[in-house]
Amino acid sequence: MVLSIINHPFKYETENVLRIFFPLEKITVTEEYPASDENSAVTVRAFSDGGCIMSCEVKIGAKTVKKEKYVNGAADGDAELALAQSLYDCLVSLTGTVPSWGVLTGVRPSKLMRSLISSGGGDYAKRYFTDKLYVNKEKTELAFAVSKAEDKIISLSRNNSYSLYVSIPFCPTRCSYCSFVSHSVAHAKKLIPDYVRLLCEELREFSEIANNLGLHLETIYFGGGTPTSLGEEDLKTVTDAVKKYFDVSSAREYTIEAGRPDTLNPEKLKIMKSAGVTRISINPQTFNNDVLKNIGRNHTAEMIYKAFGEARNEGFDNINMDFIAGLPGDTFGSFCESIEKAVALSPENITVHTLALKRAANIVTGKRTHEVKNETAEMLSYSSDALYKNGYFPYYMYRQSKSVGNNENVGWCRNEKECLYNIYMMEEIHTVFAAGGGAVTKLKSPFENKIERIFNFKYPYEYIERFDILKDRKKRIYEFYKEIGMI
Ligand code: SF4
């Protein structure tokens, strides 16, 4: 597919709209008109009478559709939206597909919803979603509900708040759909002692910076990877370092992702409990053993029950379970059964993800993409109804590019057990200091929408070999806080 950009700067938006309809196709962007036999989308801005005409002509095979919109004035925001709408209209008309999120391509719909509510109120925000962005009613209500749930949590964050992220990029085996930098424990065994030692050193550096800046720790989150794929001793070393360098007791929440049940045992649960961990994740993804095998996870549904029971016995009263809609080999019926089984276990959080298509492309077999899309959309609708019915409400959400059917990932909770970190991180509310391989520290000004990122090295071996460079990069944290007037 060729995307022609004629006389406008909206390459990013038009390409993203095109990707909603053709997520896996190669898109060649050019400032020329395409050859007449190519599948193409020609997007043009033509100035006229103090405004401009934003037009699109899309050709797929023998069919061509053209749409245009006139924009009064020359504001880039209006012109960009009009062009996205015209392109979207052409693509709906040619493909017959009506995406549930309309032209909305951003990863944080609830953040946009909140900003629209604050500028024009709830009705205005919802109308903007449905009338301008063409988001359907169900997704508009979802984004609205999430933005309202987030308000309460966001209001807890103060000017000097920050969260701490600890990256453990190791897993027992690699899931077939994984898009993270995660190494199997067996493969990375040699690296783990040095990794753990330097991670503890980085935690010390962050605690020193936080103290010097007078920052207050709100939440701690261990992610990865699967943090509990560390052995007992290493897990204890890292959690001891957190306890030594940070005031864990004053943090509102301390989460460790114990994602894979095959990495859990009563001893690790005890280590986490005595370290002050308040929330863990035990992620089935599905309760169907055949699907678990398909996706390369080395555990069974029975092991999930066992790990869950042991965690409850150890006193964990805030447990999350992740599921994925659209897994290879899963069916609507088996997905629904998984959600029902999860609800019966009654975890405080259930997170429902949509499979990312970049991986699905390699592993979805036997079904055409549109069938997978429709089935995944039905799975999400089912989980939404079932979870509402059972007292869960949506409290956080995000979208990934190239997820099946361009759908969303939603965190559900009950008994006021929202995961605070998820909201602070996804909505970019305050600074997150992130330690470990692949971690990204995000500096956020409490006074304006100023955000800056500091990247750690992606792979554990690089993190180990080039650790000293990271120390140097942290100097930027002081400069940032100086620039925003906090020192
Ligand atoms: S558990 Fe998560 S991080 Fe680990 S391999 Fe599977 S998808 Fe990747």
Residue 458 has pLDDT above 50, yes or no: yes
pLDDT computed for residue 74 by the predictor: 66
Nearest CA to ligand 1 atom 6: 175
First to last CA, the chain: 52
Place of tokens 């609800």: 343
Query: Which are the contacts of 479, defined by CB distance < 8 A and separation ≥ 6?
Result: none
pLDDT computed for residue 369 by the predictor: 63
Nearest to 435 by CA among 230, 197, 206: 206
Nearest CA to ligand 1 atom 2: 225
Residue whose CB lies within 8 A of the most ligand 1 atoms, among 168, 171, 222, 320, for a mutation test: 171
pLDDT tens-place string over residues 200-218: 999 999 999 999 999 999 9
Place of tokens 């040699």: 190
pLDDT tens-place string over residues 421-454: 999 999 999 999 999 999 999 999 999 999 999 9
Rounded to the nearest angstrom, the distance between the alpha carbon of 303 and the centre of ligand 1 is 17
Characterize 414-425 residue by residue with b for buried, 16 or more Cβ atoms within 10 angstroms of its Cβ, and e for exposed: beebbbbbbbbb
Confidence of residue 371 (pLDDT cuts 50, 70, 90): low
Query: Which are the contacts of 130, defined by CB distance < 8 A and separation ≥ 6?
Result: 136, 137, 140
Residue 363 has pLDDT above 60, yes or no: no
Rounded to the nearest angstrom, the distance between the alpha carbon of 146 and the centre of ligand 1 is 26
Residue 359 has pLDDT above 50, yes or no: no
Q: Whole-angstrom Cα distance, residue 400 to residue 109?
A: 11
How far does Cα 195 stand from its chain's mean position? 25
Rounded to the nearest angstrom, the distance between the alpha carbon of 281 and the centre of ligand 1 is 13
Residue whose CB lies within 8 A of the most ligand 1 atoms, among 168, 178, 292, for a mutation test: 178
Rounded to the nearest angstrom, the distance between the alpha carbon of 226 and the centre of ligand 1 is 7
Report angle CA 376, 356, 331 to the nearest 5 degrees. 30
Residue whose CB lies within 8 A of the most ligand 1 atoms, among 226, 299, 304, for a mutation test: 226
Q: Whole-angstrom Cα distance, residue 79 to residue 136?
A: 22
Nearest CA to ligand 1 atom 3: 225
Residue 189 has pLDDT above 60, yes or no: yes
Helix (H) or strand (E) holding 386: helix 369-389
Nearest to 182 by CA among 239, 228, 226, 222: 226
Q: Whole-angstrom Cα distance, residue 229 to residue 43?
A: 50
Rounded to the nearest angstrom, the distance between the alpha carbon of 170 and the centre of ligand 1 is 8
pLDDT tens-place string over residues 213-235: 999 999 999 998 999 999 999 99
Domain over 2-95 is classified CATH 3.30.160: yes
Residue whose CB lies within 8 A of the most ligand 1 atoms, among 180, 297, 299, for a mutation test: 180
Nearest CA to ligand 1 atom 7: 178
Nearest to 255 by CA among 278, 235, 274: 278
Residue 24 has pLDDT above 90, yes or no: no
- Closest-lying ligand 1 atom to the alpha carbon of residue 297: 6
How far does Cα 457 stand from its chain's mean position? 20
Q: Whole-angstrom Cα distance, residue 264 to residue 231?
A: 10
Nearest CA to ligand 1 atom 8: 178
- Closest-lying ligand 1 atom to the alpha carbon of residue 224: 3
Ligand 1: list residues with CB < 6 Å.
171, 174-175, 178, 180, 182, 224-226, 259-260
Residue spans per domain, the chain: 2-95, 109-152, 153-435
How far does Cα 44 stand from its chain's mean position? 33
Q: Whole-angstrom Cα distance, residue 469 to residue 274?
A: 34
- Closest-lying ligand 1 atom to the alpha carbon of residue 283: 1
- What does 299-314 look like in DSSP terms, one character per residue? --HHHHHHHHHHHHHT
**Tell me, which fold does domain 153-435 have in CATH?**
pyruvate-formate lyase- activating enzyme (3.80.30)
Confidence of residue 360 (pLDDT cuts 50, 70, 90): very low
Residue 317: Cβ-neighbour burial (10 angstroms; 0-12, 13-18, 19+): exposed
pLDDT computed for residue 86 by the predictor: 97
For residue 178 the two structure tokens come to 């994984």
Helix (H) or strand (E) holding 473: helix 467-473
For residue 398 the two structure tokens come to 């995000």
Query: Which are the contacts of 302, defined by CB distance < 8 A and separation ≥ 6?
Result: none
Average pLDDT, the chain: 93
Residues in the chain: 487
Residue 392 has pLDDT above 70, yes or no: yes
Rounded to the nearest angstrom, the distance between the alpha carbon of 184 and the centre of ligand 1 is 9
Nearest to 443 by CA among 108, 200, 213: 213
- CB-CB contact of 373 with 404 (8 Å): yes
Rounded to the nearest angstrom, the distance between the alpha carbon of 180 and the centre of ligand 1 is 7
Strands 40-48 and 51-60: antiparallel
